[in-house]
Amino acid sequence: MIEAIARLRETDPQRLGPFRLFGVLGHGGAGTVYLGRGAPRRGARKRVAAVRAVRPELLRDRQLRARLRQETARVAEAVDSPFVADFLGCELDSEQPWTAEAFVPGVPLSALVAVYGPLPEMSVRALGGALARALMALHAAGTAHGDLRAANVLLTGEGPCVVDYGIALGRHSAAVGGAGFGPSARRAEDVFALGAVLVLAASARHPFAGSPLPSAREGPDLTGVPDALCMPLLSCLHKTPETRPQPESLAHTLDLSGAATRPAREWLPEPYLHEIGERADAARALVGRRGWGR
């Protein structure tokens, strides 16, 4: 059963910053994420948003707050991709800090795979092409996602979209696969994470014994992954960061036909599309159709 959008509880805030809140999208290590609507800055049009109430204890470090502002501002200014959710704003110094991204009316890949099983090869290729293009946009802006996983990939009828990019609040900062901490290492970590996401999408299994983290002793388990996808995904999961492919070449290898640029309703299975439609309808009902369309 895929978790529905919950109504606000008495203990939930009614507003965060400029956003009026309508429902609860989910809970994570960094804080609760709400469905909201508001103008992210004076003079801007109102947007439907995913607004995270960040746990204040995660932001006690002034340098971390400064880095988060820098990362998200860079994305807001430099990234224009249909595969990356728009960053709308943040307030990190208030009693209740928050960050906001454009609401993506989709369902997490992790939830869909858990209920309906793996995607067919052609869908995995389109998904991989979209996610590689998302990384291209982020990396070209001088940043990295930093926490790419199936829960942060939302599938909509239009296409996949990555959320929760920038700094992985509440997550251990050690780089996946021993990639280190510099910019090139963070980009290599993103590629590793992309490989793990696509293995899950193709097989409904994590490549490292039920964990998205690499094993120091064993190679990745690609049981159930179509043969034609094994080589490109193994290259993403290589333990040596420098040998992993660049997102540009990966997008070409996985999605030679450019399916990622077409609406996902053309290449996602029907059960996936049904759930996506249900989620979008639930969000519209909470916000109201007038608010949704403005």
Confidence of residue 43 (pLDDT cuts 50, 70, 90): confident
59's torsion region: left (phi>0), alpha (psi -120 to 50) or beta?
Answer: alpha
Phi, psi (5° rounding) for residue 64?
-65, -40
Helix (H) or strand (E) holding 23: strand 19-28
Average pLDDT score, the chain? 88
What is the dihedral sign for C-alpha 98, 103, 109, 111?
positive
Phi, psi (5° rounding) for residue 66?
-65, -40
Residue type, 120: P
Q: Which of 147, 164, 190, 255 is catalytic?
A: 147
Write a three-state SS string for 190-224.
HHHHHHHHHHHHHHCCCCECCECCCCCCCCCCCCC
DSSP-derived letter for residue 117 is -
Between CA 25 and CA 114 the distance in angstroms is 18
Share of the chain above pLDDT 70, in %: 89
Mean pLDDT, rounded, for 239-258: 95
Residue with the two structure tokens 């869909």:
112
Mean pLDDT, rounded, for 57-64: 84
21: Cβ contacts below 8 Å, ≥ 6 apart: 8, 12, 13, 14, 15, 34, 35, 36, 51
Is-catalytic flag, 147? yes
Between CA 283 and CA 261 the distance in angstroms is 25
More confident residue, 69 or 106: 106
Phi, psi (5° rounding) for residue 224?
95, -10
- Cα 204 to chain centroid distance, Å, stands at 18
State how far the alpha carbon of 74 is from the alpha carbons of 88, 154, 236, in Å.
12, 22, 26
Longest pairwise C-alpha distance within the chain: 55
Contact in structure between 128 and 250 (CB atoms under 8 Å): yes
Q: Look at residue 214 in the predicted model and tell me its pLDDT.
A: 61
Q: Look at residue 172 in the predicted model and tell me its pLDDT.
A: 41
Q: What is the pLDDT of residues 142-192, one digit of tens each?
A: 888 989 999 999 999 999 999 988 655 544 443 444 444 678 888 999 999
According to the per-residue pLDDT averaged within each range, which of 20-34, 86-100, 201-215, 262-276 is highest?
A: 262-276
Q: What is the pLDDT of residues 217-248, one digit of tens each?
A: 468 999 999 999 999 999 999 999 999 999 99
Report the range of poorest mean pLDDT among 60-69, 106-115, 167-176, 212-221: 167-176
Contact in structure between 107 and 151 (CB atoms under 8 Å): no
